[in-house]
Amino acid sequence: MRLLPVLALGALVLPLAARANDPNSYAQPDQVVVTHLDLDLKIDFPHKQLDGVATLRLDWKNPKAPALVLDTSALKIASVEAVDANGKTLALKYALAPADKELGSKLTIEAPRHPAQVRIRYVTSPGATGLQWLPPAQTADKKAPFMFSQSESIHARSWVPLQDSPAIRFTYDAHVSAPKNLRVVMSALNDAKHPLDGLFDFSQPHPIPSYLLAIAAGDIAVKETGPRSAVYAEPSVVDGAAREFSDTEKMIATAESLYGPYRWGRYDLLVLPPSFPYGGMENPNMTFATPTIIVGDKSLVSVISHELAHSWSGNLVTAAAWRDIWLNEGFTTYVQGRITEALYGQRQATEEDLLAIRALQKDIGAMPANAQKLAPDPKGLGGDDSLSDVAYSKGSWFLRTLEQKFGRQDFDAWLKGYFDRHAWHSIITEQMLADLKPNLIDKYPGKMSWAEVQDWVYGTGIPKDAPIPDSPQFDAIDKERTAFLAGMLPAAKLDAKGWNTQEWMYFLDRLPDAPKLADMQAIDAAWHLTGTHNAEIGMRWYVHAIAAGDKAVWPAAAEHMTRIGRLYLTLPVYGAFAKTPEGLAYAEQVYAKAKGGYHPLTQQAVEAFFASAKRAHR
């Protein structure tokens, strides 16, 4: 972590060290820092485990530091040893503390002589929260097992013992053995022509934080989409995915024209089975993506432009703590919008902005005050707690406000410079503000006050003068929805034949929370939304139809919930069912069948939701 001197900027005081210790990690980077990881893994599908050897190269910061402290979660530690420059090893004493429910177990390794390297032999647990093991039946092609990781936020520690904090960056090399005829990929440079001989080697020469450490293995085919991009997916999926993501090279070139060169070499995409809990994960060199964005018309490829944008905001310049995750997600959502605008036009970019704005306006008032802040008080904040619409939508809205106040040309110059000045470092909000003030706010006086900036970053809610873009298409949809709900326009007469995905999303999002059953039945009779394979539309449709009391949609909603493990598209449907005791009982039956195909993170979220719903019904 880069240390900066104290710098007074009015009410802003930049701390000497960005943050010595992360509250979501046991690591002590003020004592010692991991700079490189050598990883040797054997993938054991029958036992659902990784047999691992992790060799950590260390930079000792405190000459009196007595120990190396690492993060682990449900790892079985076999041995720990020091490794000298000649490869000679010496066993080290270590203690594995009892597990904390969120943080896992602190691994304390006695190392008073400060070895240059420490080697740990270990085995993961079948229930590792950062890994999912799928039998063939739960894959698209149903021929071979599949395994993939999801390390964000603090789940890398469940498959590698390390300093699991975004403040700490390291390079890595990996050697992985797997069953023959299966392909292994990682968040490193991947070789599309690598023989499927069961042995794979990877190198990530750029320093990354632990949450970007990623691995997947399965029956994975490859199709090139450009000179520095390819799609990886199961054989039955790869052609459709390559067509959907054929603009990847254009996206890279567009981002480069705005914010400087793409610094990672290749940008490849892995389409995972439907159980992947997120829309996409920006693992360096190899974005992991959900198949739910493959709808045939490229209307949801903004997920890919979002993950690509992370190559600048997040992967290149990284939030040093989860409290500051808006520096990743808010900046990335803004850049995503610029890529979408350049490739698909202002209409689609504006519609995506408005969808996010309206959703945030609807939800932010119900959030705890601390959760409404871009930079919340970190006390009591879990690793995943800041990954909310506030980080994404309020963060990008703030940047769009800066763009409007200062003009696109001057704002772009600042943002490009910001990426250059902080490249390959992890920073906190206060460091970003210390860059913003002299390089934009003070450079062009009178356009935005420092108090306004602080209100956006540290204030609750949304500032009253936050700019909202205009969308004639959405305005027309508002009028049609109003007329339909008033009984003045039949569902069949809605001018919806030409609506794209975003416009259907907007129409459904702004229906009443508890619509009339007759209205929902009329919409379905006219537009046949039940059974749609467009998951964005389906989620919104089932939530409203269930709320209206339309039991005819229950089986199709159950199929949606079983087929899709992406939290954002599944949990709201569980929520709609859980509002009544009968619906909750049905949702529990669906979950019992679907659970085996869900990622551990999805399982945790659904089970926590059920517990809360049951308390509400008592």
Q: Which residues are catalytic?
A: 307, 392
**Which amino acid is it at 86?**
N
Pick from 17, 20, 37, 38: nearest CA to 29: 20
Measured CA to CA, the distance from residue 484 to residue 478 in angstroms comes to 10
- Measured between alpha carbons, how far is 194 from 292 in angstroms, rounded to an integer? 28
Composition of the chain by helix, strand, coil, percent to 5: 40, 20, 40
Neighbours of 80 (CB within 10 A): 22
**Cβ-contact 37, 162 below 8 angstroms:** yes
Q: Which secondary structure element, helix H or strand E, spans residue 307, and what is its range?
A: helix 302-309
User: Which amino acid makes up residue 608?
Assistant: A
Which element (helix H / strand E) includes 617? helix 600-617
DSSP string covering 199-256: EEEEEEEEEEEGGG--EEEES-EEEEEETTEEEEE-HHHHHHHHHHTTTHHHHHHHHH
Element containing residue 185 per DSSP (H, E) = strand 183-186
H or E element: which one contains 389? helix 389-389
- Among residues 434, 344, 370, 360, the alpha carbon closest in space to that of 400 is found at 360
CA angle at 277 for the pair 346 and 175, rounded to the nearest 5°: 105
**What whole-number distance in Å separates Cα of residue 578 and Cα of residue 559?**
17
Query: Using alpha carbons only, what angle is made at residue 558 by residues 556 and 559, rounded to the nearest 5 degrees?
Result: 65
3-state helix/strand/coil string of 562-604: HHCCCHHHHHHHHHHHCCCHHHHHHHHHHHHHHHHHCCHHHHH
CA nearest neighbour of 43 among 185, 220, 233, 235:
185
Backbone angles phi, psi at 227, to 5 degrees: -65, -20
> From CA 596, how far away is CA 126, in angstroms rounded?
13
Given a contact cutoff of 8 angstroms between Cβ atoms, the answer to whether 49 and 492 are in contact is: no
- Cβ(199)–Cβ(244) below 8 Å: no
CA angle 512, 518, 524 (to 5 degrees): 85
DSSP symbols for 309-345: HTTTBTTTEEESSGGGTHHHHHHHHHHHHHHHHHHH-
Given a contact cutoff of 8 angstroms between Cβ atoms, the answer to whether 436 and 421 are in contact is no
CB 228 within 8 A of CB 234: no
Kindly list the distances between the CA atom of residue 457 and the CA atoms of 236, 371, 433, in Å, as whole numbers in the listed order: 46, 12, 9
How many angstroms from the chain centroid is the CA of residue 369? 23
Contact 138, 205 (CB under 8 A): no
